[in-house]
Amino acid sequence: METLTLLAQGFAVALTPGNLIWSIIGVTLGTAIGVLPGIGPATTVAILMPLTVGLPPVSAFIMFAGIYYGAQYGGSTTSILLNTPGEAGSMMTAVDGNAMARRGRGAQALATAAIGSFVAGTIGTIGLTFAAPLLVEIALKLTAPDYFALMVLSLATVTTMLSNPTGGGSIAFGIASLFFGLLLGTVGLDPQTGQARFAFGVPELLDGIDTVVVAVGLFAIGETLYMAATDGGKADSMHKLRGSFWMSREDWSRSWKPWLRGALIGFPIGAIPAGGSEIPTVLSYTLEKKLSKKPEEFGLGAIEGVAGPEAANNASAAGALSPLLALGLPTSSTAAVMLAAFQQYGLRPGPLLFESNSSLIWGLIASLYIGNVFLLVLNLPMVGVWVRLLSLPKPWLYGGILVLSSLGVYSLNGNAVDLVILWIIGMVGFIMRVIGVPIVPCVLGLILGPLIEQQLRRSLAISQGDWTVFVTHPVSAFFLLVALAFVATPIISSLRKPKPQSAVGMTR
Amino acid sequence: MTFTRRTALTALAAAFLLAVAPAQAQTIRSLDITVPGGPGSGLDQAARGIEEALRAEGINAVKVNNVPGGGGMIAISQFVTTKEGNRNAVVVQGAGTVFFPLTNKTPVTLADVRPLARLAGEYEVIAVRHDSDVKDFKDLMARFKANPGSVAWGGGSPGSTENIFFARLAKIAGMTPKQVNFIPHPNTGEVVVSALNGQATVVGGGLQDFKTQIEAKKLRLLAVASPERLPDVDAPTLRELGYDVVFANWRGVSVHKSLDDKSANALADLFAKLVKSAHWKKILNDRGWLDLYLPEQPYQAFIADETRQAREILTELGLATQ
CATH number at residue B12: 3.40.190.150
Per the domain annotation, does B239 fall within a domain? no
- In chain A, residues 240-279 whose CB comes closer than 8 Å to chain B: 273-274
Nearest CA in chain A to B36: A413
Q: B268 or A78: whose pLDDT is higher?
A: B268
Q: With contact defined as beta carbons under 8 Å apart, do A107 and A387 qualify?
A: yes
Instruction: State whether B85 and B100 are in the same domain.
Output: yes
- Residues above pLDDT 90, as percent of chain B: 57
The Cα of A473 is separated from the nearest Cα of chain B by a number of Å equal to 13
pLDDT band at A276 (very low <50, low <70, confident <90, very high): confident
Query: Residue B19 — very low, low, confident or very high, per pLDDT cuts 50/70/90?
Result: very low
DSSP class per residue in A293-341: S-GGGTTS--THHHHHHHHHHHHHHHHHHHHHHHH----SHHHHHHHHH
Q: Are strands B89-94 and B30-35 parallel, antiparallel or unpaired?
A: parallel
Asked if B75 reaches chain A (Cβ–Cβ under 8 Å), the answer is: no
Query: Which residues, numbered 199 to 218 in chain B, qualify as contacts with chain A under a Cβ-Cβ cut-off of 8 Å?
Result: 199-200, 208, 211-213, 215-216
> Is residue A505 less than 8 Å (CB to CB) from chain B?
no
Residue B310 placed within a domain: yes
What residues does A188 pair with on adjacent strands?
A: A197
- Output the pLDDT for position A487: 82
pTM, to two decimals: 0.82
Domain containing residue B195: CATH number = 3.40.190.10
Q: Inter-chain contact A349–B106, Cβ cutoff 8 Å?
A: no
When pLDDT is cut at 50, 70 and 90, the band that residue A440 belongs to is confident
d(CA A305, CA A283): 11
What does the pLDDT look like over A211-256, one tens digit per residue? 888 988 998 899 889 888 887 555 555 555 555 667 888 888 899 9
Handedness of CA A408, A413, A416, A418 (dihedral sign): negative
> Do B73 and B157 have their domain in common?
no
Integer Cα distance of A326 and A353 in angstroms: 9
Q: Which domain range does residue B161 map to?
A: 122-224
Do residues B246 and B292 lie in contact, with contact meaning Cβ atoms separated by under 8 Å? no
Q: Are residues B117 and B134 in the same domain?
A: no
A351-355, B106-110, B281-285: which has the minimum mean pLDDT? A351-355
Whether residues B9 and B95 share a domain: the answer is yes
A469–B contact, CB cutoff 8 A: no
For residue A345, the chain B residues in CB contact (below 8 A) are 286
Picking from B212, B218, B251 by the largest number of A CB atoms within 10 A of its own CB, the best residue to mutate is B212
Q: Which residue of A has its CA nearest to B63?
A: A47
- What is the rounded distance in angstroms from the CA atom of residue B148 to the CA atom of residue A287? 45
pLDDT at res. B11: 54
What is the distance between the alpha carbons of residues A212 and A229, in angstroms, rounded to a whole number?
A: 24
Answer for the pair A334, A70: CB distance below 8 angstroms, yes or no: no
- Angle at Cα A494 formed by Cα A489 and Cα A500, nearest 5°? 135
Per the model's pLDDT, the better-predicted residue between A28 and A133 turns out to be A28
Tell whether B55 is covered by a domain.
Answer: yes
Closest residue of chain B to A459, computed from CA coordinates:
B199
- Residue B123's DSSP bridge partners are B248
Does the beta carbon of B236 lie under 8 angstroms from any beta carbon of chain A?
Answer: no
Task: Select from B179, B206, B224 the last residue of a domain.
Answer: B224
* Integer angstrom CA distances of residue A353 from A56, B211, B319: 16, 13, 41
Same-domain status, B112 and B193: no
Which range is most confident: A71-80, A388-397, B113-122? B113-122
pLDDT-derived band of residue A502, with 50, 70 and 90 as boundaries? Answer: very low
Condensed to tens digits (0 to 9), the pLDDT of residues B144-185 reads 999 999 999 999 888 888 999 999 999 999 999 999 999 998
Instruction: Give the burial string for A338-349 (b: 16+ CB within 10 Å, else e).
Output: bbbbbbbbebbb
- Listed residues B209, B224, B239: the one ending a domain: B224
Helices (H), B131-228: 137-146, 161-172, 188-196, 207-215
pLDDT, average across residues A179-204: 87
What pLDDT, on the 0 to 100 scale, is given for residue A249?
87
Measured between beta carbons, the chain A residues lying within 8 angstroms of B152 are 461-462
Is B74 an interface residue toward A (CB < 8 Å)? Answer: yes
Under the banding of pLDDT at 50, 70 and 90, the label for residue B2 is: very low
Nearest CA-CA partner of A326 in B216, B112, B223, B214:
B216
Whether the per-residue pLDDT at A338 is higher than 60: the answer is yes
pLDDT value, residue A233: 54
What single-letter amino acid sits at A416?
A
Question: What tens digit of pLDDT does each residue of A341-383 get?
Answer: 887 777 878 777 777 788 888 888 999 999 999 999 988 888 8
What is each CA distance from B12 to A92, A127, B17, in whole angstroms?
A: 49, 59, 9
Domain assignment of residue B281, yes or no: yes
Q: Under 8 Å CB-to-CB from A398, ≥6 apart: which residues?
A: A224, A227, A228, A232, A238
Q: Are residues B206 and B263 in the same domain?
A: no
Instruction: Please tell me which residue of chain A has the smallest CA distance to B187.
Output: A331
Q: What's the mean pLDDT when you consider all of chain A?
A: 84
pLDDT at A232: 56
* Residue A26: HSE in the Cβ half-sphere, 13 Å Cα cutoff: 31
Residues 6+ apart with CB under 8 A from A246: A107, A108, A111
B126 and B145 belong to one structural domain: yes
Cβ contact, residue pair A352, B215, below 8 Å: yes
**Same-domain pairing of B155 and B300:** no
β-strands B181-184, B61-66: how paired? unpaired
Query: pLDDT for A280-336, tens place per residue?
Result: 998 999 899 888 888 888 888 899 999 999 999 999 988 888 888 887 777 677 777
In a domain, B322, yes or no: no
Are A119 and A313 in contact, with CB atoms under 8 Å apart? no
Cβ atoms of residues A91 and A44 within 8 Å: no
**What local confidence, expressed as pLDDT, does residue A112 receive?**
93
Q: Which one of A148, A458, A466, A475 makes the best mutation probe of the B interface by having the most chain B beta carbons within 10 Å?
A: A458
Of residues A336, A348, A458, nearest to B183 (C-beta): A458
Q: What confidence score (pLDDT) does residue A501 get?
A: 47
**Looking at residues B93-107, what average pLDDT do you find?**
87
Q: Look at residue B242 and tell me if it is in a domain.
A: no
Q: Which residues on B lie below 8 Å from A352 (Cβ)?
A: 212, 215-216
CA distance A448 to chain B (A): 15
Structural contact between residues B149 and B178, judged by C-beta atoms closer than 8 angstroms: no
Interface of B with A in 114-173 (CB under 8 A): 149-150, 152, 157-159, 163
Could you write out the three-class secondary structure of B13-26?
A: HHHHHHHHHHHHCC
CB contact under 8 A, A140 and B184: no
Rounded Cα gap, residues A131 and A112, in angstroms: 27
Whole-number pLDDT of residue B21? 44
Q: Which residues of chain B does A203 touch, with a Cβ-Cβ cutoff of 8 Å? A: 69-71, 73-74, 77, 106-107
Residue A327 and residue B212: Cβ atoms within 8 Å?
yes
Q: Do A352 and B216 touch (CB under 8 A)?
A: yes
Reference B116, options B290, B294, B307, B306; nearest CA is B294
Tell whether B14 and B33 lie within a shared domain.
yes
Please name the residues in contact with A128: beta carbons below 8 A apart, sequence gap of 6 or more: A318, A319, A321, A322, A325, A365, A368
Q: Residue type at A412?
A: L
Residue B294 has pLDDT above 90, yes or no: yes
Boundary residue ending a domain (B208, B224, B240): B224
In this predicted structure, the answer to whether residue A2 has a pLDDT above a threshold of 90 is no
Say if the Cβ atoms of A345 and B45 lie within 8 Å. no
For A456, name the nearest residue in chain B, comparing CA atoms only: B183
Element (H, E) at B70: none
At B20 the pLDDT is 46
Cβ neighbours of A15 (radius 10 Å): 14
Kindly list the residues from chain B whose CB atom is less than 8 angstroms away from the CB atom of residue A192.
158, 184
Per-residue pLDDT tens for B245-256?
A: 999 899 999 999
CB count within 10 Å of CB A163 equals: 16
Domain check: are B26 and B52 in the same one? yes
CA distance B173 to B181: 15
| pLDDT over 60 at A505, yes or no | no
Query: Residue A223 and residue A430: Cα distance in Å, rounded?
Result: 6
Q: What is the pLDDT confidence band of residue B195, given thresholds at 50, 70 and 90? A: very high
* A359 CA: distance to closest CA in chain B (Å): 19
Q: Is B45 on the interface with A (CB under 8 A)?
A: yes
Q: Is residue B246 a part of any domain in this protein?
A: no
Flag if A203 and B39 touch (Cβ within 8 Å).
no
How many residues are listed for chain B in this entry?
Answer: 322
Q: Do B116 and B144 belong together in one domain?
A: no
Same domain, B196 and B182: yes
Give percent helix, percent strand, percent coil of chain A, each to the nearest 5.
Answer: 75, 0, 20
Q: Which of A39, A137, A344 to mutate to test the interface with B (most CBs of B within 10 A)?
A: A344
How many DSSP H helices and E strands does chain A contain?
22, 2
Contact B150 A204 (CB under 8 A): no
A124-142 average pLDDT score: 84
**Residue B239, min C-alpha distance to chain A (Å):** 29
Q: Is residue B151 part of a domain?
A: yes
Spatial separation of the C-alpha atoms in residues B299 and B296, rounded to whole Å: 5
Minimum CA–CA partner of B76 in chain A: A203
- Grade residue B1 by pLDDT with cuts at 50, 70 and 90: very low
Distance separating alpha carbons of residues B2 and B5, to the nearest angstrom: 5
Number of domains in chain B: 2
Cβ–Cβ < 8 Å for B292, B250: yes
